[in-house]
Structure 1
Amino acid sequence: MPIFMDRHDVSKSVTAEIVAQIHLEDIKIQQKYNCRGLTYWFDDARKTAFCLIEAPDRDAITQMHDHAHGMVPHQIIEVDKTIVESFLGRIEDPEKAQNTNLNIINEPAFRTLMMVSVENHSLKSSDPFSIISNVQQIYKHISTILKPFNGNMVQQNEDGCLISFRTVTEAVLCALKIHKDYRVLISQYQINFTELSIGLHAGIPVTDKESIFEDTIKLAQRMCFISAAEIVLSAEVKHLFESENFGEVINKNQIHELTTDVERFLNQFMEFTEKEWQNTELKVDDFERNIGVSKSKLYREMIRLTGKSPSVFLLHFRLRKSLQMLQKQKGNISEVAFDSGFNSPSYYTKCFRKRYGIIPSELIQN
C-alpha cells in the first residue's frame, strides 16, 4: 500500500501529550479503515503535527482521523518512505522517552535544507568526462563531512546534492565547511572552471504542494543561481540562525542573505523560466508580462542577483539543461538543440562552444 503524510494545524492549547493521545486513538481503530499509523511529528513552537500513515488512499486517512478524534488533516500527500527517512531521520515511532503510558513525541518535522551545486563553465579538455568525474568527487567529499553537522544526504542528481539538517546553525556551519574545502578540492583535482553554489532554506514537509518539502526544495535550488555569494540564505534561515545564536551577525563577505521581496521575485522569475525555457518563441518581454515587473526592474534585479541580463541568464539556463541532456544521451544534437529552446542546431552549437569551450559533438564522441 502507498504511504502518506498529512498535516494538522492545531490550536495553541494542544500539547505533545494531547497529540500522543490522538495518535493512540488512531491506532485503536486503524484496522477498520485498512490503515497503519507508522509515526508522527509534533512541533510545539509552530503548532503543527504530521502523521505518516500506510493507507489505501487519502479518503481512508480522513475517515480514520474523523472517527478516532475528529481532527481531520489540512493536507495529505503521498510520499516515498525512503525519502521521508532521509529528510526526517525515521519512519517509525521512537522508543518511549518518558515513563508514561503514552509515547510522547515532541519532535518537529521542520528542517533546514541545503542545495549544493557545482557547475562546469568549461569542458575544454582532452577528456571532458574527466572534468565531470572530478565534480562528482567533490560531491562525494561533501557526503563525508556531513556527520559532525548531523546532515543527511537526501539525493544527488545532475542539479547537485540535497541535504537535510535538524537545525539552522548546523546547516550554516556545514555550508561554511563545504565552502572552505571546495577551494582545496578544486586545486587538488585541477578544476579551473567550476562554480560552487549553496542555497539554504527551511520549512515544513507538507504544504499545499503535492510532494514533500516541495516549496523549501525549490527555493533552495533556485538560490543556487544567485551569484552575489557562494552561500545564500533565505530570510527564514537568517532569522533562525540569529535566534539560535543570540543575535550573532553573519559574515556577509561569505554569505548573502535574501529578503522576502527578493525571494518572491526569484520564485516568480524561476517558476516562469522552468515552465517556458523549452519554448523557442520565448522572449524577455514575456517575463515582464508574466512576472508583472517593468523592463528596467527586471534587468536591474537580474544583474544584481545573477550578474546576468535576463536574456543571457535564459541562454545559460538552456545550455546547462542541454548539457544534462547530452550527458544522459537524451537524443542527437539537433533534437537536444530544439528541446532546449534553440531555433537551429548551428546556433546552438555556436553558443555551446562559447560557453563550454567544445562543441556538442566532441562531448558525445568522448
Structure 2
Amino acid sequence: MDLHKASEGDEGILSIEEIKRCHMADVKIQAKYGVRFIQYWINSEAGMFFCLMEGPDKESCMAVHEEAHGNMACNIIELQGGDYNAYMGNESNKNEFDLVENPDGTLDTGFRVILMVDVIAPANDQNLYDQIKSTFKKFEGREANHGGDRIMCVFNFSSQAIECAKAILAESEILNKEGVEVRIGISAGGPVSDGSEFFGNSIKLANKLCDIAQSNQIIASTEVKELTKGTLITPDNENSVLRIITPVDEKFVNALVEAVESMESNSTFSVESLSKSIGMSKAQLYRKTTSLTGHSPNYFIQEQRLKKALKLIKKKTGNIAEIAFEVGFSSPSYFTKSFQNRFGILPTQAQR
C-alpha cells in the first residue's frame, strides 16, 4: 500500500477526477511491471490518498506511477498476513473506478480509529479479557494483533470507538474486580505514514496515551475529536473519564514516554536525566507531566517501571531479582516493597 499527499504549499490534493484518471492510467500499464492495482481511498480533508496494490516489489509499483502519470508516492509499505482485513475490514464497497466507499455511498477516507486497552490486574483473568473483546464486537470493532500485550481494536468511525471505550469502563464486571485498573488510549490516522508499519504512527500514539492515562480514564487524540465533527466530544462532555489532548501535548507525550522507555532499565535515570533528554527545565517538566498524568515526573518514571515489571512477572520472563534489575531497580528488596505498595501483593504472588 502506498501514500500520496499534497506537497507543502499546495492548495490541496489532486481532485477526485484527477485521481481517478491517474488510477486508470496505472491500471492501463500495470501488467508491464507485473503489478495489479486493487483499490484506493481518498481523504480530501487530510490531503492524502492511499493505493492498495499487488506487485513483485516496491520498485515495480513505483515504476508504474512514474510511467503512467508521474505522481509519485511519498511512501510505500508491504502488508503482512492478516493485517489488511483486521484494519481495513473484510468487506469493501468499491465503485467502477476502484474507489472505496462506505455502505451509505460516501467516500471511505482510509483513516481508521485505534482503541488501545491496557488492563492492570494482579492476576491473569481471561474472563476479563473476554468481556472487553465482547464489547468490541457490540460496536463493530475488529480486534487486531499489534505485537504488544495490550488489547487493540480498530474502528471505521470515531463515534464507535468512543462509545465502545465508555461501555468498557461502565462494565460492572470490570469495575468491581478487586485491584483491576483499565486505561484506554484512542488515536486515529491513515494506513501509511512516514514509517514502515501499517498504521504505525496511530498505534504508537494510542499506546502512549494508555501510558499517561489514569485508572479508568480514556484519553483521545485531537484527530479523534475532529473525526467526530463535534457530535460526541464537546467541552461539555469532556471530563475526568474522557479527555482530549492537544497536538502540542501529543508531542510532549511522545517525547516523555520515549525518553522513559529508552532509559527505564538504568537505575540512575532520574528527573534530571529526563529533563535533559526532552529539553525542558525541571519546573516545566513537573508542571507539564502533572497536568497530563496527574502525577509528578518521579512518580511517572516509577509507575512505568512497576507496570512493566508486573507484565514481565506474569509472563514469567525471569526471577524477581532479574526483573527488578531489568526495570531499573538497583535493590530487589526496595523493588518488592514498591511493588507491594503499588499493587497490594508481593511479586511472588503475581507469579502464581
Aligned to 1:79: 79
Aligned to 2:3: 7
DSSP-derived class of the 1:40 partner: strand
Matched residues in 1 for 2:228 and 2:60: separation?
40
Aligned to 2:104: none
Is the contact between residue 227 and residue 305 of structure 1 (CA under 8 Å) also seen in structure 2? Answer: no
Once the two structures are TM-superposed, the CA of residue 148 in structure 1 deviates from its matched residue by 4.5
Once the two structures are TM-superposed, the CA of residue 110 in structure 1 deviates from its matched residue by 0.9
Deviations 1:241-300 (A, max 9, x none): 243469784342532221222222211101111222122331211111111211112122
Letter in 1 for 2:217: E
Aligned to 2:205: 219
Letter in 1 for 2:296: S
Aligned to 1:171: 161
Deviations 1:6-56 (A, max 9, x none): 101157473444434433333333333333334322223333111223333
Matched residues in 2 for 1:37 and 1:236: separation?
29
Aligned to 1:127: none
DSSP-derived class of the 1:293 partner: coil
DSSP-derived class of the 1:145 partner: helix
Structure 1 unaligned spans of 5+: 124-130
DSSP-derived class of the 2:295 partner: coil
Select 1:185's aligned residue among 140, 157, 174: 174
Select 1:350's aligned residue among 319, 337, 341: 337
Letter in 2 for 1:348: F
Once the two structures are TM-superposed, the CA of residue 301 in structure 1 deviates from its matched residue by 2.3
DSSP-derived class of the 1:265 partner: helix
Higher relative contact order (CA 8 A, sep 6+): 1
Aligned to 1:207: 193
Is the contact between residue 13 and residue 48 of structure 2 (CA under 8 Å) also seen in structure 1? Answer: no
Is the contact between residue 112 and residue 157 of structure 2 (CA under 8 Å) also seen in structure 1? Answer: yes
Q: Does 1:132 align with 2:132?
A: no
Is the contact between residue 7 and residue 48 of structure 1 (CA under 8 Å) also seen in structure 2? Answer: yes
Once the two structures are TM-superposed, the CA of residue 307 in structure 1 deviates from its matched residue by 2.7
Is the contact between residue 13 and residue 47 of structure 2 (CA under 8 Å) also seen in structure 1? Answer: no
Once the two structures are TM-superposed, the CA of residue 179 in structure 1 deviates from its matched residue by 1.8
Letter in 2 for 1:150: E
Select 1:316's aligned residue among 303, 313, 317: 303
Letter in 2 for 1:50: F
Aligned to 2:59: 59
Letter in 1 for 2:4: H
Aligned to 1:154: 144
Letter in 1 for 2:133: S
Q: Does 1:250 align with 2:237?
A: yes
Is the contact between residue 184 and residue 213 of structure 2 (CA under 8 Å) also seen in structure 1? Answer: no
CA gap 1:261/1:46 in 2 versus in 1, 3 angstroms:
closer
Matched residues in 1 for 2:93 and 2:158: separation?
26
Q: Which moved more, 1:208-217 or 1:21-30?
A: 21-30
Select 2:98's aligned residue among 81, 93, 103: 103
Q: Which moved more, 1:319-328 or 1:38-47?
A: 38-47
TM-score (norm 2): 0.86
Q: Does 1:37 align with 2:61?
A: no
Deviations 1:187-234 (A, max 9, x none): 3xxx22121211222211211122122222222222222228612222
Identity %, equivalent residues? 33
Aligned to 2:288: 301
Q: Which moved more, 1:327-336 or 1:281-290?
A: 327-336
CA gap 1:322/1:23 in 2 versus in 1, 3 angstroms:
same
Aligned to 2:116: 115
Aligned to 1:145: 135
Matched residues in 2 for 1:110 and 1:18: separation?
21
Deviations 1:155-197 (A, max 9, x none): 377642111122222222222222212x34343xxx2212121
Aligned to 1:128: none
Q: Which moved more, 1:167-176 or 1:226-235?
A: 226-235
Aligned to 1:287: 274
Is the contact between residue 182 and residue 216 of structure 2 (CA under 8 Å) also seen in structure 1? Answer: no
